Structure 1
Amino acid sequence: MTVQDKIAMPRPSLGFWLRNQMRNVAPFATLLCLVVFFSLASPSFATADNLANILTQISVTGIMAVGLTFVILCGEIDLSVAAVANATGIAVAYFTSQEAYVSIANIPLPGWAAIILALIGAGVLGLVNALGLTLIGIPSFIMTLAMMQIAAGVSAMLVRGQIAYAVPDIVTTIGSGSIHGVPWIVVLLACFLIVGHVVLTYTRFGRYVYMVGGNREAAEYSGVNTKVILGAVLVISGVCSGVAGMAGVAHFGSAQQNEFDTYLLDSIAAVVVGGTSLFGGRGSIGNTIVGLCVLGVLNNGLDHVQIDSFLKILIRGLILLAALVINVYAQRLRDTAAVRGEV
């Protein structure tokens, strides 16, 4: 294409740009509106202390959402993230407690060993999801739904209705400590977000994730081992959930059955509300960050304006529904534009 041809080409209109970027613009506009509304409605909302509170509240969800972003970008879903987090948090408490003994020395496991064993367990659960999807061919929705029950069963067997309080010191520090006034759990979230962004943006594996999610058949023809990529993202999701579970247990101060059940919807909502496509291939960690902020501001702001708790659940559901509608509508607009040759 010559320089003259480039000059002669019409520039995309504002309407075209908005249609193409609706998935990214809508979540940011929603976040801006929520911040303005709650700042005007409650003087205690727009403060530095409350900002730190919001970041702390979204940290556990955010770490889970990082792993889910990889999975959803591939056009799959992981419904077991909350159950895996719960099982891992309980496992690290169980291995640290006086009930778990090294068979030879008859002493409790050291903290580092309990952490490693718990993370290995989270990775194994993710690996089982991966093998079910890639080798057996079970759809990820069904496979991870079964894993959700398996992980819940593991949690029930370990605690047997009791509450465990013992966790390694390093996990306690990360979950409830701070550095220069910044909670360690927020620092941990930032590290996961940065690493996730770098992997998806600047590595070959990240490009393959987008290729598999965008067009799996074309990715296979290009020589990408799609099964390896799909298996890897499910293992990543399992490990992220495991880390979130350990940090959450330390932050809450105890490990108990069904402790993370509400985090499944929140972590999926953070990815989807942020604008990552449910159909795969479009989205980023940046979108997930915006989605996390929307949920964090919404939940925290509703507490500040003293909205009825039942109405709060309804509002969250309506916002998630709106995000799903925008997600599907944006995909249709892009498909239509592709047919017309506009993209």
Structure 2
Amino acid sequence: MNPTHSTSSGISFFGRHQKRLHKYGIVIAFFALCLIVALVGEYQVSQGAWSDNYFFSDANMLIVLRQVSINGILAIGMTFVIITAGVDLSVGSVLALSGIVAARFATNNAGMAIGDTATAVLTPLIVALGIGIVCGLINGTVLARYRLQPFIVTMGMLSAARGLALLTTGGNPVSQLNNDFRWLGNGYVAAVPVPVIIFIALFGLAWLLLNKTIFGRYVYAVGGNAKSARTSGINVIRIKVLVYTLCAALAGIAGLILTARTGSAQTNAGAGYELDAIAAVVIGGTSMAGGVGTLQGTLFGVLIIGVMNNGLDLLGVQSYYQQIIKGVLIVVAVLLDPSRKNQRD
């Protein structure tokens, strides 16, 4: 047998299937991770450490989905931003600010009481969305109109929004939230947690927006080559403003849900959440160089992080290792990004 022919055949096989492997690699990685966690769980059972393998139980699957819903909502907006070759470091702080101000309209304290169920949910929702939209408009307008680096502008908003959150309450949490509002974070609809339903609904709407509308095509065009997009008549400034507004608005919704789930609005809420959102998007195959990425990939990136965190918790691994693993995953995902080759060439 000719060794050269064998080597060429191997290279040819991977060449033919490179796109397919890149497309479905994240799905394979997700199911492989689930299998590894389940097998380790079986080993724990065999050693008598567990009475049964809890990982694949219905209760644990719902826990995982509820846990990933917040990061999932943030990652949806972050996907749009990163596709335009940007980044938003302020989503964690916007989440905290939105949650705190919205909670002020959902407390049982005298003077801030909500009269009926619809108002108890609708008023905080409008407030949280409004704050997110304002923060996003500021981010997008400043960085797009003055052509500043997204890293710098959103880092400034990160600090400003966190400061406003502290200023709003004097550094104290907002508690005693009414039960109607808390249903957003702890309620169920047909045995499915409300945060999961909201995440799925937002994901579906975002998928349609990105894949079935002119706006979605413009988002990819701006990320692929902003100069060419501008030459072809696309209003690049408007697209960037809308993208950052969308991202911050989703952060506002995430802050609302997190506050409802925990039962109080904390000034330090959302710290580091921007890193988890970026990690999910990058692990899901969206290129930091812009122009490449899918929400489907982001979904599996979110699930991988959620399963990893849940599995390590079940196995009794310290949370510090979760941060290390996420850091490694981000670096590996960037190294495997096909667009890096084009940048080097």
C-alpha displacement of 1:170? 4.9
Judged with a 3 Å threshold, the aligned counterparts in structure 2 of structure 1 residues 166 and 123 are, in CA distance, closer, same or farther, namely farther
Of 249, 257, 262, which residue of structure 2 is paired with 1:252?
262
Q: 2:6 maps to what in 1?
A: none
Identity of paired residues, percent? 32
C-alpha displacement of 1:228? 0.5
Q: In structure 2, what is the Cα distance between the partners aligned to 1:196 and 1:171?
A: 25
Q: 2:166 maps to what in 1?
A: 156
Q: Does 1:82 align with 2:82?
A: no
- State the SS of the aligned residue for 1:24: helix
Contact 1:129 1:143 (C-alpha < 8 Å) held by counterparts: yes
Q: 2:234 maps to what in 1?
A: 224
Of 243, 247, 265, which residue of structure 1 is paired with 2:253?
243
Judged with a 3 Å threshold, the aligned counterparts in structure 2 of structure 1 residues 22 and 331 are, in CA distance, closer, same or farther, namely farther
C-alpha displacement of 1:88? 0.2
C-alpha displacement of 1:323? 1.5
> What are the Cα deviations for residues 16-37 of structure 1, in whole angstroms up to 9, with x where unaligned?
2444455434422321221111
Judged with a 3 Å threshold, the aligned counterparts in structure 2 of structure 1 residues 100 and 62 are, in CA distance, closer, same or farther, namely farther
Q: In structure 2, what is the Cα distance between the partners aligned to 1:192 and 1:108?
A: 26
Q: In structure 2, what is the Cα distance between the partners aligned to 1:100 and 1:266?
A: 37
Q: Does 1:331 align with 2:330?
A: no
C-alpha displacement of 1:186? 0.1
C-alpha displacement of 1:13? 4.7
Q: In structure 2, what is the Cα distance between the partners aligned to 1:17 and 1:268?
A: 30
Q: In structure 1, what is the Cα distance between the partners aligned to 2:303 and 2:221?
A: 28
Q: In structure 2, what is the Cα distance between the partners aligned to 1:222 and 1:87?
A: 38
Judged with a 3 Å threshold, the aligned counterparts in structure 2 of structure 1 residues 170 and 17 are, in CA distance, closer, same or farther, namely farther
C-alpha displacement of 1:253? 1.3
Q: 1:192 maps to what in 2?
A: 202
Count of residues in correspondence between the two structures: 320
Matched letter for residue 14 of structure 1: F
Q: Does 1:48 align with 2:58?
A: yes
After alignment, is 110-119 or 169-178 more displaced? 110-119
Segments of 4+ in structure 1 off by > 6 A?
none
Judged with a 3 Å threshold, the aligned counterparts in structure 2 of structure 1 residues 334 and 52 are, in CA distance, closer, same or farther, namely farther
Of 139, 156, 177, which residue of structure 2 is paired with 1:146?
156
Contact 1:209 1:229 (C-alpha < 8 Å) held by counterparts: yes
Matched letter for residue 202 of structure 1: K
Judged with a 3 Å threshold, the aligned counterparts in structure 2 of structure 1 residues 50 and 259 are, in CA distance, closer, same or farther, namely same
Of 54, 66, 69, which residue of structure 2 is paired with 1:59?
69
> What are the Cα deviations for residues 109-168 of structure 1, in whole angstroms up to 9, with x where unaligned?
953334323321111011010111122222111000000011001110112121212446
Judged with a 3 Å threshold, the aligned counterparts in structure 2 of structure 1 residues 14 and 227 are, in CA distance, closer, same or farther, namely farther
Matched letter for residue 309 of structure 1: S
Q: Does 1:207 align with 2:223?
A: no
Of 283, 287, 309, which residue of structure 2 is paired with 1:277?
287
Q: In structure 2, what is the Cα distance between the partners aligned to 1:98 and 1:25?
A: 49
Judged with a 3 Å threshold, the aligned counterparts in structure 2 of structure 1 residues 227 and 40 are, in CA distance, closer, same or farther, namely same
- State the SS of the aligned residue for 1:321: helix
Matched letter for residue 126 of structure 1: G
After alignment, is 121-130 or 18-27 more displaced? 18-27
C-alpha displacement of 1:59? 0.3
Q: In structure 1, what is the Cα distance between the partners aligned to 2:177 and 2:74?
A: 20
> What are the Cα deviations for residues 32-54 of structure 1, in whole angstroms up to 9, with x where unaligned?
22111101111211222211111
C-alpha displacement of 1:174? 1.7
- State the SS of the aligned residue for 1:306: coil
Contact 1:88 1:121 (C-alpha < 8 Å) held by counterparts: yes
Q: 1:173 maps to what in 2?
A: 183
Contact 1:27 1:291 (C-alpha < 8 Å) held by counterparts: yes
Q: 2:36 maps to what in 1?
A: 37
TM-score of the aligned structures, taking structure 2 as reference length: 0.86
- State the SS of the aligned residue for 2:104: helix
Q: In structure 1, what is the Cα distance between the partners aligned to 2:306 and 2:15?
A: 31
Judged with a 3 Å threshold, the aligned counterparts in structure 2 of structure 1 residues 25 and 108 are, in CA distance, closer, same or farther, namely closer
Matched letter for residue 251 of structure 2: S
- State the SS of the aligned residue for 1:161: coil
- State the SS of the aligned residue for 1:95: coil
Contact 1:62 1:189 (C-alpha < 8 Å) held by counterparts: yes
Q: In structure 2, what is the Cα distance between the partners aligned to 1:332 and 1:313?
A: 25
Q: In structure 2, what is the Cα distance between the partners aligned to 1:331 and 1:19?
A: 14
Q: In structure 2, what is the Cα distance between the partners aligned to 1:39 and 1:70?
A: 33
Judged with a 3 Å threshold, the aligned counterparts in structure 2 of structure 1 residues 167 and 203 are, in CA distance, closer, same or farther, namely farther
C-alpha displacement of 1:315? 2.1
Q: Does 1:14 align with 2:13?
A: yes
- State the SS of the aligned residue for 2:105: helix
Q: In structure 2, what is the Cα distance between the partners aligned to 1:98 and 1:175?
A: 17
